[in-house]
Amino acid sequence: MPLKKKRQHRHLPALILLVIAEGPVHGGAVHTALVRRTPGFKVDTAAIYRTLQALEAEGEVESSWDTLGTGPARKVYRLTPAGWDKLAIWKTDIEYRVALLQNFLSDYDRIAHSRPRASD
């Protein structure tokens, strides 16, 4: 029986910073990139915009208004040096978590064969 899935967005700031690291982008394009890159990852645009506001308040992204295109002006986000530093911290954190999970999987595979069966 699979565990009940929770909608956790602990790594949403990291994912957003990674999208912005590729170049200036507006919030709607961040959402599009996240949906495209991470199938099954469900996040609403409101969470993305709240996270963008927090990243901007923390100095990790900066924004400006793009008024050159057709349609309404769009707020375009760019990574700051502090954002690059934070992205590196996220990378280290995620590598650590992946290693912990890989250890769990390896240990499980090693001991699963000794699991008592219902018929035992």
DSSP annotation string for 8-36: --TTHHHHHHHHHHTS-EEHHHHHHHHHH
pLDDT at 16 over 80: yes
* Phi and psi at residue 38, to the nearest 5°: -125, 75
Residue 1 has what pLDDT? 46
> What's the rounded Cα separation, in Å, for the pair 90 and 98?
12
Q: Which residue has the higher pLDDT, 114 or 95?
A: 95
Share of the chain above pLDDT 70, in %: 92
pLDDT over 80 (residue 73):
yes
CATH architecture of 12-111: Orthogonal Bundle (1.10)
Mean pLDDT, range 96-120, rounded to an integer? 88
What residues are paired with 63 via a beta bridge? 77
Could you tell me how many residues make up the chain? Answer: 120
Domain locations along the chain: 12-111
